[in-house]
Structures are given as C-alpha cells and as structure tokens.
Amino acid sequence: MDERIITAKIQVYTISELPEIEKNLISAARTISGNAYAPYSSFQVGAAVLLENGQIITGNNQENAAYPSGLCAERVALFFANAQYPNLKVKAIAITAQTGDLFVSNPTAPCGACRQVILESENRADYPIRILMAGSDIVYAVDSIKELLPLHFDKSNLKHE
Ligand code: THU
C-alpha cells in the first residue's frame, strides 16, 4: 500500500486587501444575492463571473418546491455567461451568501456540482478561473478550481485505450 497526500493552498484576505476589480466582483455578487429565490432554505447566494473583456455576469440560486430542480448561483451565472459569450474566457468568479439582510460571515465555497461545472469552464477555455469565496469580512481565494477539486473527472478520463 502506498499513500499520497493531496494538499490545497488557499489565500485568505480581508476584503480591503483585494484589488478594485475583485472588490467590484464581490460587490456584484452581493447585489444579486438579494434577488435569489430561496424560500425553502432562506440561504441566498450570489455569484458574479468576470469575463476576459471586463464584463460581469451575475446569478443567484433559484430554488424549487421539487428541491433537486433548483440550481445554485454559480451554475446560473456560469451557464448564462457561457451561453451568451461562448468565446470569452471566464477569468474569475465571486461567491457570496446572505440570510435575510445579513451577509454570511463564513466564506461560501462552491458545492461539489458547481466545482465540477467550474472545472468544465476552465477546461473548455484552457484558462484558470480565480475563485473568490467571500464572507462578510474574510475572503478565501484560489487561482484555479483544481485547488478545490484536486482529484477530478474530466474529458481526459473519457479517453480510454
Ligand atoms: N447554494 C448555492 O447557490 N451555491 C453553493 O455553492 C451552495 C449552495 C444554494 C443551493 C440552495 O438553494 C441553497 O444554497 C441552500 O443549499
């Protein structure tokens, strides 16, 4: 038996330390989280995607009485961005969450399914996506989804000899 240790390195910032463009991205995610449709969880998530031309696309979670039919904020934003601008690279995504009027203090990390979708976006453009997981004051950041999904399944797994 052999063992391998996989580590993840995240950057931890206070919001004030971030460059203006990333502050703006977090602010866009916070604005859109207020429009989330989350009557079942009361956990409203906002996601803002930064495209290579500087445009910001936002999305929020959309819940459903048939629970699995809902969709997370990250996928709403990313699918829309990739649908509208299939040839523009996604450079970054910011994720925020609020309950009622209060922004959640713990940084919100993307769920497993959203990680897989972020990975697909990275791979399709062959460009790493910076992920900003914003709490009310603290932000966790990684420069690629591969930090959060080190052992992943992608198109290379479908090539079998
Ligand atoms: N949610 C997101 O929108 N993004 C995540 O990364 C985590 C969870 C949503 C799904 C559901 O509407 C609510 O948050 C509670 O899980």
pLDDT tens-digit map of 103-125: 999 999 999 999 999 999 999 99
Total domains in the chain come to 1
Average pLDDT over residues 46-55: 98
Q: Which protein residue has the closest C-alpha to ligand 1 atom 13? A: 43
Cross-strand partners of 58: 48
Pocket test for ligand 1, best of 61, 108, 140 (most atoms within 8 A of CB): 61
How far apart CA 121 and CA 129 sit, in angstroms, is 8
What's 127's domain CATH number?
3.40.140.10
> Amino acid letter at 3?
E
* Inside any domain, residue 87: yes
Pocket test for ligand 1, best of 44, 45, 79, 118 (most atoms within 8 A of CB): 45
* Inside any domain, residue 46: yes
Whether pTM > 0.85 for this model: the answer is: yes
Q: Please tell me the predicted confidence (pLDDT) of residue 159.
A: 86
* Inside any domain, residue 27: yes
Q: Please tell me the predicted confidence (pLDDT) of residue 58.
A: 98
How far apart CA 50 and CA 27 sit, in angstroms, is 12
* Domain span including residue 144: 14-148
* Inside any domain, residue 130: yes
Contact 42, 100 (CB under 8 A): yes
* Inside any domain, residue 2: no
Contact 119, 149 (CB under 8 A): yes
* Inside any domain, residue 28: yes
Q: State yes or no: pLDDT of 161 exceeds 70.
A: no
